[in-house]
Structures are given as structure tokens and as C-alpha cells.
Structure 1
Amino acid sequence: MLFGFVGEEIKKIKYYYRETLTCLGIFVVAAYAGYIAAVLLGAGQAEHYLDMVKNMVVGEEMPENIFLFILVRNSVVSLLVLMVGIFTYSIWPVMVLLFNGAVSGFFVKMQSFLFNRFSFEIWVFGLLPHGILELGALFLAAGASFYFRRLRKTGHFNWAGVIRTYLVVVLPLLVVAALIETFITPIIIYRFLA
């Protein structure tokens, strides 16, 4: 019975896959813009960037449970994207996608300057292991918010559908992504980029 319920929710992705692909496109455009911004700043700014990151890390207490910290942060963002997007004419999800894309593109290029590596290597080894699931969950949450907004306009909207989408589709992806980001990505980075 549980697997049937989960299967039904996953099948409903077909109703908002176009919106999800649009969200991917928004993210890619923003990531490219962030990447270009880092290129324009140049390698000379990489040391300043490193100092800024060190100050942020040293200035803040690292949470004891990194996994829980990552999971809660990403879960809250995705839940807000899904729920707030329904009422903000999808402005909130688009803003989150633009911000995350720009930061990701900028981060990758600055890391490539710092590690003297190709940007592609940073994407593959530093972001891809957990990013596929983490960003996939974000794109699905944003795409679903567009879909539920459309349902709201037609009068076929219900909160139970929103909660089911979050609990069955988005949250499981975020749990696995947080596990990978906490326990596997650091090993991959150390092995291939250090």
C-alpha cells in the first residue's frame, strides 16, 4: 500500500515536468551569469574570495551535526519555494533559483581559480555527487509550485496535494542528498581535488 501511494505521487510529476525543466533552465542561465561574473573578476580576486570564505567559516560555529544542518536548511528552502510560490505568482521560486544558480556558478569558477583546476572538475567532483538530488528536489519543488498555482486558479487546489508532493517527492531526495553531501562529497573532493 505504501509503495502504491509513493508510486502514485511520483507519477504526478508528469503534470509539472515542463515547469520543472523551466526551473532547470532558469538555474542554468543564472549559473552561467555567476560564472561569467567570476571570470570578469578574475583569478586575482580568488584570494579575497578565499579570505571571505575563511572568515565566514571561522566566524561561525560549525554545527555539530552537519548532516542535520544541511538537511534542515535545504528542506526549509524547498518547502518555502513550494508553498510560497503558490501565492507569489511564482516570483519567490524564480528568485531562489536565480540566487542559487548565480552563487553556484560564481562558486565553481572561484574554486577553479583557487585549486588551479578546470571548472568542469569542480562541478563533477564538488557539486554533482549531491547536487543532482539536491537541485533536482529544488527544481521539482519550484515546478510543483507553478503547477499548484495553476490548480489554485482553477479551483482544484488542495493543501493535502502540496504536503504529499513535499513529503513523498522532495524530502526523500533531500535526505539522500544531505547524506551524500555530508559523507561522500568530502571524500570525493579530497581524493580528486586536493
Structure 2
Amino acid sequence: MLDWFSKEWREIRHYKQDSLLSLTIFIVAVCLGYLVAVLVSDKAGEYYNTVRDMILANPFGEGLPENVFLFILARNSMVSFTMLVLGMFTYNVWPVLVLLLNGAISGFAVKIQAVLFNHHSFQIWLFGLLPHGVPELTAIFLAAGASFYYRRLHSQGVHVAGRVLKTYLVVVWPLLVLAAAVETFVTPLLIHRFLL
């Protein structure tokens, strides 16, 4: 069993460059979102509520559900799975759009929160996003990178369905479980301790 897991983790070398490209796309989007937030910072409160509602959108009702961990895990799992699978059928358009949207929202939200709560942006990144963002974004970048890689294989006639599922279950999903746990149980403590 452990050999199976370690073999799948070694497969990352095949799409490492694609994952780094995903990181680059995300960083560009973060910078653009941050820049837009700087330009509209005089209406920070109004925009903050809109972005917050987008981030916390619950398709099953108003506000956050009772089990925040499962809500976060389900949302991130759906995003990364669709990114991994739909990238092959949309010629990588879907993963790029998801990276751009998530990056822009992240950059925008950080700057708006910094303005509203009178903190430096790096404090918002450090205590509010990085603890859970590292495993979550790693999962997303690996899912996007794998999607680019499997798209190339698929276009060469290689059957990749089983490999896609293994990559998701062995590489991406465990990182998302870790990220959801940190976001649910650790990030709120850090926010209360350092940002409130």
C-alpha cells in the first residue's frame, strides 16, 4: 500500500513544470486582484461583503453549514476534481480560468481586508491564508499541472482515466483534507490571536 502511494507521489515529476506554470498563473492573478483592490479601496467595505459572500457561498442554504470542515473539503474537492478532469476536455481552459479567478479573488480579498481591518497585507497572508493555503494551493497547482500533463497524453491517444483518478485520490485529496482541517481548526485561532 505504501509503495503504491510513494509511486504515485513520484509521478509528480512528470507534471512538475506544469504545476509551476499553474503557480505562475495564480501569482499573476493575485497581483492583478491586489492592484484592483488598491484602485477601489475607497469602497472597501462594499466590495469586501461581495467577495466574502462569493467565497462563503453555500449552495445548500444561507451562511456556513454546521460542519465547516466538510463544507470546505467538499467545495475544494469539487473545484480540484473538476479542474483535473475538465482540463482534458476544455483544452486546459477550465484550470486556467479557475487559477485566474481564485488568484484574483485572493489578492483582492487580502488587500481589502488589510484596508478594512487596518493591518498590513503580509499579516493577512501570514495568519489568515498561508497556514491552510499552502496545502490547499499545492493541491490545486498539482491538480492543474496534472490536468495539463494528462491532456497531452490524452491527445496522443493514451488512456488516462485511471491515472487521473489515482492522482486525485493519492496526491490531491489528502492535501485537501489537511488544508480543510487547518482552515477549520487552526486558521480561526491564528486570526483571533493575531488579526482581531
Alignment correspondent of 1:13: 12
User: Residue 55 of structure 1: CA displacement?
Assistant: 7.1
User: Residue 48 of structure 1: CA displacement?
Assistant: 1.7
Specify whether residues 50 and 91 from structure 1 end up closer, same or farther in structure 2 by C-alpha distance, changes over 3 A only.
Answer: closer
Distance (Å, rounded) in 1 between the aligned partners of 2:51 and 2:160: 43
Mapping for residues 26-45 of structure 1, pairs under 5 Å: 26-42=25-41, 44-45=42-43
User: Residue 8 of structure 1: CA displacement?
Assistant: 0.2
Alignment correspondent of 1:193: 195
SS of 1:97's partner is helix
User: Residue 47 of structure 1: CA displacement?
Assistant: 2.2
- The alignment of Structure 1 onto Structure 2 pairs a total of residues equal to 192
Residue type of the alignment partner of 2:169? L
The C-alpha deviation readout for 1:68-91, integer Å capped at 9, x for no partner, is 000000000000000000111100
Distance (Å, rounded) in 2 between the aligned partners of 1:55 and 1:137: 24
Pick from 138, 153, 156 the counterpart of residue 155 of structure 2. Answer: 153
Distance (Å, rounded) in 1 between the aligned partners of 2:178 and 2:121: 25
The C-alpha deviation readout for 1:43-62, integer Å capped at 9, x for no partner, is x21222345467777x9232
Alignment correspondent of 2:115: 113
Residue type of the alignment partner of 1:8? K
SS of 2:158's partner is coil
Contact conserved, 2:33 with 2:103, CA < 8 A, in 1? yes
* Cα RMSD for the two superposed structures: 1.7
Distance (Å, rounded) in 1 between the aligned partners of 2:81 and 2:65: 22
Contact conserved, 1:130 with 1:177, CA < 8 A, in 2? yes
Pick from 76, 79, 88 the counterpart of residue 77 of structure 1. Answer: 79
Identity %: 55
Contact conserved, 1:31 with 1:105, CA < 8 A, in 2? yes
The C-alpha deviation readout for 1:12-38, integer Å capped at 9, x for no partner, is 000000000000000000000000000
Pick from 117, 126, 129 the counterpart of residue 127 of structure 1. Answer: 129
Residue type of the alignment partner of 2:44? A
Show structure 1 runs of 5+ residues with no match.
Answer: none
Specify whether residues 51 and 24 from structure 1 end up closer, same or farther in structure 2 by C-alpha distance, changes over 3 A only.
Answer: closer
Contact conserved, 1:148 with 1:157, CA < 8 A, in 2? no
The C-alpha deviation readout for 1:71-124, integer Å capped at 9, x for no partner, is 000000000000000111100000000000000000000000011111011011
User: Residue 40 of structure 1: CA displacement?
Assistant: 0.6
Alignment correspondent of 1:24: 23
Alignment correspondent of 2:46: 48
What is the TM-score with the length of structure 2 in the denominator?
0.93
